[in-house]
Amino acid sequence: MYTVSNLWKSYEKKAPPVLKGLSFEIHKGEILGILGVNGAGKTTLIKLLLRALEASDGSMEFLGTDLAKFPLAQYYQTVSAVLEKDRNVYWYLTGIQNIQYFGRLKKLKDGEISEKADRLMRAFDLYDARNQIAGNYSRGMLQKLSIIIAMLGNPQVLFLDEPTLGLDVITKKAVMHNLKQLARQENTTIVLTSHQLDVIDEITDRVLVLENGGIAYIGKTSDFKHLYSENKYTVTMSGRLDKKNSALSGCTIEEKEATTEIILHNTSNREINKLISHLLEKDYEIIAFSKDSHRLEDVMELFIQRGSDKSA
Amino acid sequence: MLKLIQAEFKKYLLEVKTYYPDQIVDLVTRYILFTAFFYGFVYHVRNSTGYYVAYMYWIIASSIISELSMSLSFEKQAGTIEQLIIKPYPLWLILTVKTYVVLLITALKCVLLFVIIKVTLPISLQFDLNLIWILLVSVIGFTGIGLALSGLTMKFTKTASFESIISYCLLFFSGTIIPFDKMPDLVQRVLNVIPFTAGINMSQKLLEGGSQILPVLLWLLFINLACFLLGYLIFQAIFRNVKVNGILNTY
């Protein structure tokens, strides 16, 4: 859908570039997550793809046509966005009036707007507040309203900058569910940024990690999670252990109030079986056994850490 | 285009409804201003009703010019500017339609004001229907100046002082403070090609019965289109610059 080649962006001539020669593709119908620390250039990249900013160098193609030459009116019929920092809606209008206004600016017919507004407001649990002034909405409600507006007119591409920021758990789940459905059923391409890595983990097909203005990683989210595969096993048992026991070498032992946790990192099934057999032989009571693996948050943390170690 | 007009019209009506006390105060203020200016100054001191045309031009020109930059400034402050630029209509057109909708409502308020003045003050106002054509053509030129100023607002955010300077200049060159024929020859020649003063001049001549409408309109159309084109080009150049510098949504 998009082919980005050697994309550079600096805001001022003498300032260091925010983006340094990015090259990547965005495929039709995928959900792409853009990750990176604060100031990594995530929003800049989204705004460049939205043509709200002009690139310093490089090229972007959309549906095989140079994006700079793609007719703007046609492009904005195709793409939509919710941008962070922006308010996205008018506070003196009610929820439904905001939807009607922005729907008309998208050249939609009034009947079509009403039908969509009705369906989306119910899906996002905003229907009962449709006639309330947006200024009285909570942050979460405003965010939901912005997403509904962005979804009007069946965009082929939806850009979302921090779409779940400020949302409660239930609403966040509803937003994620609706976005996934949009991508699967309508084949909508979704490009999103989020610092809430559970959101990225849950809904994205691929991730693009920005670091120091370049692409540090691009690929399947599941592959990224295995990049620094760090399986962590925890055996919880009652009472205390003899720490000098040789069977426990290489384990981390954490003593809690009435229990003890034995933590093993990146070990084999054989080693785990050996440890459990040993504990049972010694009549220790095992209360729980858990395996935490491939949490995106941990992987990202390691990724950033290793990146800064390299640069140091 | 119709969708855009419909969207802006309905939104502005909702705005008027929400902030109706401001509309009432605006009408009262205009009445007081007009009474003081027209009845006190023009009718008694100058003894000519033709000056109300200049005053009307000044109100319209000022409101178009200030509305264009004020609405852009408002969108920046409200954080909705980027939502507007990613819509199928170009930003300059959205801002212009917004302004014309405000102008239309202002014009309706002015009609109401004139009716109230007619009823409450012992004055007679001259009017020629052809004035409407001259005024409509002049609006094109005012839009050009307004677009240039809103381009500056896009870049510098706060441009109230620019707006005041333009507004005072327009008042000065409207011929209400110093009549055109009292100004130096060179100034008169320059003023004749400035859309604002040319429109006033021609409207006053028309009221005095000394002008033919068609050649007047053609000349006015030419200078107003030129003014619009210049303003549009300035707006687009600044818009591009702002996209390069990334300061569109900074307030």
Please report whether residue B250 resides in a domain: no
Q: Please report which residue ranges of A132-268 form alpha helices under DSSP H.
A: 139-151, 169-185, 197-203, 221-227
Residue range(s) defining the domain that contains residue B83: 2-245
In 3D, which of B111, B118, B125, B116 has the Cα closest to residue B53?
B125
Per the DSSP assignment, residues forming a β-bridge with A26 are A2
Domain count across chain B: 1
Inter-chain contact B80–A73, Cβ cutoff 8 Å? no
Per the DSSP assignment, residues forming a β-bridge with A217 are A209
Q: What is the pLDDT of residue B211?
A: 62
Residue with the bigger pLDDT between B22 and A267: it is: B22
Instruction: Among A76, A88, A97, select the one facing B80 at the smallest CB separation.
Output: A88
Inter-chain contact B86–A11, Cβ cutoff 8 Å? no
What's the distance, CA A6 to chain centroid? Answer: 24
The alpha carbon of residue A215 is apart from the nearest alpha carbon of chain B, in Å, by 22
Total-model pTM: 0.79
Please count the other Cβ atoms lying within 10 Å of the Cβ belonging to residue A295.
15
Rg of chain B on CA atoms, in Å: 19
Q: Give me the mean pLDDT over the B48-64 stretch.
A: 73
Q: Mean pLDDT of all residues in chain A?
A: 86
Question: Tokens 């100046």 — which residue?
Answer: B145
Q: Give me the mean pLDDT over the A178-199 stretch.
A: 87
Residues A130, A94 contacting (CB under 8 angstroms): yes
Please report whether residue B251 resides in a domain: no
Inter-chain contact B78–A72, Cβ cutoff 8 Å? no
Count of positions (residues) in chain B = 251
Q: What is the pLDDT of residue B42?
A: 62
Mutate to test the interface with A, among B10, B86, B243 (most CBs of A within 10 A): B86
What's the distance, CA A312 to chain centroid? Answer: 28
User: Which residues on chain B place their C-beta less than 8 Å from a C-beta of chain A?
Assistant: 3-4, 6-7, 10-11, 14-15, 18-19, 78-90, 94, 240, 243-246, 248-249
- Fold classification of A2-227 (topology level): Rossmann fold (3.40.50)
pLDDT tens-digit map of A219-255: 998 888 777 666 778 889 888 877 777 677 778 888 8
Nearest residue on chain B to A57, alpha-carbon basis: B244
Residue A263, both tokens: 């933590």
Inter-chain contact B14–A12, Cβ cutoff 8 Å? no
Which helix (H) or strand (E) segment is B69 a member of?
helix B51-78
A288 CB-near residues (< 8 Å, 6+ apart): A234, A235, A236
DSSP character string of A89-133 = S-TTSBHHHHHHHHHHHTT--HHHHHHHHHHHHHHTT-GGGTTSB
Q: Give me the mean pLDDT over the B61-68 stretch.
A: 82
Q: What is the pLDDT of residue B172?
A: 74
Rounded Cα gap, residues B248 and A58, in angstroms: 22
Is it the case that residue A210 has pLDDT exceeding 70?
yes
Which helix (H) or strand (E) segment is B74 a member of?
helix B51-78
Mutate to test the interface with A, among B82, B93, B240 (most CBs of A within 10 A): B82
The alpha carbon of residue B138 is apart from the nearest alpha carbon of chain A, in Å, by 28
Residue with the bigger pLDDT between B40 and A225: it is: A225
Put residue A24 in one of left, alpha, beta given phi > 0 → left and psi -120 to 50 → alpha.
Answer: beta
Instruction: Among A50, A56, A105, select the one facing B4 at the smallest CB separation.
Output: A105
Q: Give me the mean pLDDT over the B19-43 stretch.
A: 77
A5 falls in which pLDDT band (50, 70, 90)?
very high
Please report whether residue B54 resides in a domain: yes
Q: What is the pLDDT of residue A223?
A: 82
pLDDT tens-digit map of B128-167: 777 788 888 888 888 898 899 888 888 887 777 777 777 7
B189 falls in which pLDDT band (50, 70, 90)?
confident
Q: Which CATH number fits domain A232-292: 3.30.70, 1.10.1200, 3.30.420, 1.10.3470?
A: 3.30.70
Q: What is the pLDDT of residue A76?
A: 93
Residues A8, A275 contacting (CB under 8 angstroms): no
In 3D, which of A227, A308, A232, A311 has the Cα closest to residue A265?
A232
Mutate to test the interface with B, among A92, A105, A136 (most CBs of B within 10 A): A105
Which of B192-228 are b and which e, b meaning 16 or more Cβ less than 10 Å from the residue's Cβ? eebbbbbbbbbbbebbeeebeeeebbeebbebbeebb
Residue B164, both tokens: 């005041």
Residues in A closer than 8 angstroms to B83, CB to CB, are 81, 83, 86, 88, 102
pLDDT tens-digit map of B102-129: 888 888 887 888 788 778 877 666 667 7
Rounded Cα gap, residues B173 and B195, in angstroms: 11
Is it the case that residue B74 has pLDDT exceeding 90?
no
B51 falls in which pLDDT band (50, 70, 90)?
low
Q: Mean pLDDT of all residues in chain B?
A: 80
